[in-house]
């Protein structure tokens, strides 16, 4: 059981015992006062303890582990192992991996420590060459790092410090099996650091398995929404969403807007619609190449486009200052994702505004979000008139669509049943570190060896979360008609990333799965 630790009350980085080169780098960036997560975590990490850190997004988690890691490595200078690294940081997305690596370079600019990144969407060559000579700090995504291990261009047996950043999103994206495989390649004696914005049950179980006598630091209650974000919901029909977005973006006060859609295809449709309305925007999601994603982010940072349309895969990988508004074009079906989305604004203590569109079928998602953040979000209609929230315990119009049971004589398509989302909407999956059509050879090999690949059917089995909620991924794009068919009969379960399921219904016979598939989750 992980225990809470005392809170360190410090007002300056000099109080944390950081080395002079680190303090000089912080001063050059204008940083003098540590955030709460930094003040609590840095002393434990610098002392060599395992740590589980819980903090809202945008609170400075990266510096909380980067600064003490740099200090520890600089205090014990040694040659990095050829083909390996001394500190390994796992990140769920390419964007986040790049930003973490850049933070290490900025904070360690006056130290002679090397930093490299390994992620999909780019050539293997530069990564292989960087690993050959050995690096002090390696920031990687799980899929591409496993590829390098299989090709024997990387080794992890001499890692001294292991960091799992955004651990809850790692699990959401189905990376639990790759993570456990990578952990097996690590030495038994090492320092482990877990940082996460939320603390679901799976993270606690993984922490118990991998952390040794860890310190736990938490600066906010679990799943608490960023306090300075002004939130409101616009109730409207699905067909009105794009027109409503155009009207909002006509307001010049919305200078830098991050718009979240549920699917990659939906993000591209929004970009095209905005272009037709004369509004410059760009999309960032898993179907984009690394170059396209970087150009979109650069244009958003530089102000060349006011709106960046993103999927949840980018929710925690976008660190852009001055985001004035977050618009949830589609409400997320995972309440914690709402917290991460709106956390892109109101960063570093600034104020921000989050506007969410909610159609008839999304009312259930809205109720789940409000229960999670423990507050009622103000509602308006399409014209801006206030709409009263439903009374506690009352069923709001637009309840969860009931899941119809399949007639006994009707067989599921390809013999597969849908273990769908508990609201009856199928899940969408998106690979975190590879664009569409690009799958790491190593991971493909694992799926085939482990017997988890059902490519011959095109529809692998979906094993649900032990509480009835399946793993959260973003599906590849499908034609609208096919999506409608999925909603109607519940077939075509989504692909699980990362190999083996967390738990599941695999022990059930086929007739039991078919009988139970119509039950509410």
Radius of gyration of the chain (CA): 23
What would the pLDDT profile of 309-327 be if each residue is shown by its tens digit? 998 866 566 677 788 999 9
Please report how the helices 335-342 and 363-373 are oriented relative to each other, as an axis angle in degrees rounded to 10: 70
Q: What is the mean pLDDT of residues 108-133?
A: 94
pLDDT above 90 coverage of the chain, percent: 45
* Contact (Cβ atoms closer than 8 angstroms) between residue 33 and residue 11: yes
Pairwise CA distance, residues 98 & 96, whole Å: 5
> Judging by beta carbons within 10 Å of its beta carbon (0-12, 13-18, 19+), is residue 449 exposed, middle or buried?
exposed
Pairwise CA distance, residues 508 & 461, whole Å: 12
What would the pLDDT profile of 493-504 be if each residue is shown by its tens digit? 444 444 444 444
Pairwise CA distance, residues 68 & 74, whole Å: 10
Pairwise CA distance, residues 346 & 342, whole Å: 8
Instruction: Classify domain 3-218 at the CATH superfamily level.
Output: P-loop containing nucleotide triphosphate hydrolases (3.40.50.300)
Asked whether the predicted pLDDT for residue 215 surpasses 60, the reply is yes
- Of the CA atoms within 13 Å of residue 431, those in its CB half-sphere come to 25
What would the pLDDT profile of 241-281 be if each residue is shown by its tens digit? 999 999 999 998 998 999 999 999 999 999 999 999 999 99
Domain with CATH 3.40.50.300 in the chain: 3-218, 229-387
pLDDT above 70 coverage of the chain, percent: 68
**What is the predicted pLDDT for the residue at 316?**
60
Note the helical H segments in 250-391: 264-276, 290-302, 335-342, 363-373
Asked whether the predicted pLDDT for residue 402 surpasses 70, the reply is no
CATH of segment(s) 229-387: 3.40.50.300
How high is the mean pLDDT of the chain? 77
What would the pLDDT profile of 479-495 be if each residue is shown by its tens digit? 444 444 444 444 444 44
DSSP string across 314-343: GTTT---TT--EEEESS--SSHHHHHHHHT
> Judging by beta carbons within 10 Å of its beta carbon (0-12, 13-18, 19+), is residue 485 exposed, middle or buried?
middle
Q: How confident is the model at residue 48 (pLDDT cuts 50, 70, 90)?
A: very high
Instruction: Classify each residue of 390-413 as buried b or exposed e, where b means 16 or more C-beta atoms within 10 Å of its C-beta.
Output: eeeeeeeebebeebeebeeeeebb
């Amino acid at each position: 059981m992980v225990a809470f630790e005392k809170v360190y009350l410090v007002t300056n980085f000099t109080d944390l015992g950081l080395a002079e080169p680190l303090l000089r780098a912080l001063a050059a960036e204008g940083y003098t006062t540590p955030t709460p997560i930094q003040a609590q975590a840095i002393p434990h990490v610098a002392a060599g303890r395992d740590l589980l850190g819980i903090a809202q997004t945008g609170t400075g988690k990266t510096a909380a582990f980067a600064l003490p890691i740099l200090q520890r490595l600089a205090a014990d200078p040694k040659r990095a192992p050829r083909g390996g690294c001394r500190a390994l940081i796992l990140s769920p997305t390419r964007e986040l991996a790049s930003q973490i690596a850049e933070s290490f370079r900025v904070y360690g600019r006056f130290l002679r420590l090397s930093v490299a990144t390994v992620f999909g969407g780019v050539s293997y060559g530069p990564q292989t060459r960087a690993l050959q000579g050995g690096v002090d700090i390696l920031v990687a995504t799980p899929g591409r790092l496993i590829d390098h291990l299989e090709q024997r261009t990387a080794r992890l047996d001499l890692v001294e410090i292991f960091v799992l950043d955004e651990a809850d999103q790692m699990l959401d994206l189905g990376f639990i099996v790759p993570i456990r495989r990578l952990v097996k390649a690590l030495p038994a004696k090492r320092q482990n650091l877990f940082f996460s914005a939320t603390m679901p049950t799976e993270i606690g179980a993984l922490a118990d398995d991998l952390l040794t006598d860890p310190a736990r630091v938490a600066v906010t209650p679990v799943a608490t929404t960023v306090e300075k974000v002004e939130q409101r919901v616009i109730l409207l029909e699905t067909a009105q969403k794009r027109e409503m977005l155009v009207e909002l973006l006509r307001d010049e006060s919305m200078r830098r807007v991050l718009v979240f859609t549920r699917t990659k295809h939906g993000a591209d449709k929004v970009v095209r619609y905005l272009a037709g309305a004369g509004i410059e925007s760009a999309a960032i999601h898993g179907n984009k190449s690394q170059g396209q994603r970087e150009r979109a982010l650069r244009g958003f940072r530089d102000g060349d486009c006011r709106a960046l349309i993103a999927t949840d895969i980018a929710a925690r990988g976008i660190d852009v200052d001055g985001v004035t508004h977050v618009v949830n074009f589609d409400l997320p079906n995972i309440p914690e994702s709402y917290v991460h989305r709106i956390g892109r604004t109101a960063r570093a203590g600034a104020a921000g505004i989050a506007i969410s569109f909610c159609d008839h079928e999304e009312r259930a998602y809205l109720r789940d979000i409000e229960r999670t953040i423990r507050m009622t979000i103000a509602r308006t209609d399409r014209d801006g008139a206030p709409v009263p929230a439903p009374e506690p315990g009352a069923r709001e119009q637009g309840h969860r669509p009931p899941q119809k049971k399949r007639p006994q004589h009707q067989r599921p398509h390809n013999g597969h049943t849908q273990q769908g989302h508990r609201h009856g909407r199928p899940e969408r999956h998106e690979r975190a570190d590879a664009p569409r059509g690009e799958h790491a050879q190593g991971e493909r090999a694992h799926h085939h060896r482990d017997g988890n690949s059902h490519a011959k059917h095109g529809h692998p089995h979906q094993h649900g979360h032990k509480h009835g909620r399946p793993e959260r991924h973003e599906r590849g794009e499908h034609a609208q008609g096919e999506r409608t068919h999925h909603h109607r009969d519940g077939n075509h379960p989504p692909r699980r990333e990362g190999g083996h399921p967390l738990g599941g219904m695999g022990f059930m016979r086929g007739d039991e799965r078919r009988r139970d598939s119509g039950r509410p989750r």
